[in-house]
Amino acid sequence: MLKLNVRHSLLKTQFLEIRFAPESTIEEVKDKLHRMTGTPPHFQELVLIKSNSQQILGPDRATLGDFFAETGDEISLTDRNPHSLFGPAFQEAKKNYVAPVADEAKYLQLEGSVYQQIEWKLKNDKAFRDHYYAKIKERQDVQMKEFELAAKTKVGDRCQIVGKRRGTIKFIGDIKDKGQGIYVGIQLDEPLGDCEGDGFFECPRKFGTFFNISEVEIGDFPELAFDDESDSEL
């Protein structure tokens, strides 16, 4: 039996030493985490964090054993539900909230909760409501595109990024410091990067970089010889 720590993107509490069987499928893991955290399985993005690597857990039919999970490893759960409590849609609505001019007296009767304010705005302010749901749809479209790309991408794939820089995928997953989205860590073929992997993977100095997965082209990209790069600039 494995004892794994679980960290949720929207909750301050870390769940320690949660028991899982090595043969548990990712679908079963998501179901258990749903009962623990309230995040529905289809909105969960799971990343297994080991001492020297990170990897997205999927597809659902795979098992923890397939990823060589060990006691002490951590599962990072990113809640992709735009309607989650304190989730991105709520934060977006809160940031753009403006007190209504019409019917001010009725509005002031509310208790002052941001939730109540947003609920009032959604019911009574069409412009706010349209903006709110447009933002949700926009974010869902972006997330769906990123999920589709992540499903087709794996560590070890060759890739090309802006400036015709080429390299090898070393990490795929969520990076809180970079904001929302799925990112890939790349070890470049040449020292044209800006890091050494930042703890997500290891590579020589200035060979590492990170890009959103939508900005990376995956394919059979051999290392460029110096002459190849020179010719492309002529």
Are residues 141 and 169 both part of a single domain? no
Tens digits of per-residue pLDDT, 176-202?
777 778 999 999 999 988 899 989 999
Say whether both 142 and 181 belong to one domain.
Answer: no
pLDDT digits (tens, 9 = 90+) for 5-52: 999 888 766 888 889 999 999 999 998 898 888 788 888 999 999 988
Residues 68, 28: one domain?
yes
Whether 71 and 132 map to the same domain: the answer is no
Which of 51, 79, 107 marks a domain boundary? 79
Q: Are residues 126 and 182 in the same domain?
A: no
**Residue 96 pLDDT exceeds 90:** no
Whether residue 179 sits in one domain with residue 124: no
Amino acid 6 reads V
The CATH number that applies at residue 204 is 2.30.30.190
Residues 59 and 7 in one domain: yes
Last residue in a domain, options 57, 79, 101: 79
Q: Are residues 51 and 72 in the same domain?
A: yes
218: confidence class by pLDDT, cuts 50, 70, 90? very high
Domain edge (last residue) among 47, 79, 111 = 79
- Identity of the residue numbered 170: K
> Do 54 and 18 share a structural domain?
yes
Nearest C-alpha neighbor of 44 from the set 62, 30, 54, 26: 30
What percentage of residues in the chain have a pLDDT greater than 70?
79
Provide the pLDDT confidence category of residue 232 given band limits of 50, 70 and 90: very low
Domain enclosing residue 173, as ranges: 158-232
Query: What is the per-residue pLDDT for 17?
Result: 86
Same domain, 63 and 18: yes
Q: How many residues does the chain have?
A: 234
Residues with Cβ < 8 Å from 44, sequence gap 6 or more?
30, 33, 34, 77, 78, 79, 80
d(CA 46, CA 58): 8
Mean pLDDT across 50-56: 90
> Please, what sign has the CA dihedral across residues 130, 132, 133, 135?
positive
Q: Residue 65: what pLDDT?
A: 92
**Total structural domains within the chain:** 3
Total-model pTM: 0.46
pLDDT of residue 54 exceeding 80, the answer is yes
Query: Rounded mean pLDDT of 131-156?
Result: 88
**Residues ≥6 apart with Cβ < 8 Å to 161:** 167, 186, 209, 211, 215, 216, 217
Do 115 and 48 sit in the same domain of this protein? no
Q: Are residues 172 and 210 in the same domain?
A: yes
Whether omega for the bond prior to residue 82 falls within 30 degrees of 0, making it cis, is no
Q: How many CA atoms lie within 13 A of 130 on its CB side?
A: 3
